Structure 1
Amino acid sequence: MRRGGEASRLIGVVGDPDAALAELTSRERQVLDLLAEGLSNGQIAQRLYISTKTASVHVSAILRKLGVASRTEAAVLATRQVA
């Protein structure tokens, strides 16, 4: 599947991606940006000076708020908003 097709499919899942992203806290947005760079929970934790468990909780909240099932889907939405 082409990347554009995947983004279109995700939009159908979350409805309005801008609205979904607007629901994220500033810390969740920081975590999402690092997640989109491909960092693991441990690496995110180190960058933000938080525990790995806290990073994991943030990632879970992000996936729930965005209505996606994976880190990859969340990263696609995050990078789509930058473009």
Structure 2
Amino acid sequence: MLERDGRDGRTEVTFVLPAGTPPGPVGDFNEWKPGTRELTPRPDGTRAVMIAPAAAASHSFRYLAAGDYWFNGDIAEGRPDGNSHLTT
């Protein structure tokens, strides 16, 4: 799930996944560098990370879970290249 919030002329995007699905640590939106940004637990049991990407831009992304398991977001637009896509 993606949560969007506009602040000071910028768009903040929070990537949210259920707790434990998939199991283990999950990273996201980090220029394909594993371990750079990891989703952290929230009080409601979900895991999340917030980023503030460049305004009015298109971004491709995938999640990377433990065991080198790459997967796409469930709400983001799918792309022919196999990545999820986000427009801010």
Q: Does the pair score TM above 0.5?
A: no
More helix by share: 1
More strand by share: 2
Query: TM-score category by the smaller chain?
Result: under 0.3
TM-score normalised over the length of structure 2:
0.25
Question: Larger relative CO (CA 8 A, sep 6+): 1 or 2?
Answer: 1
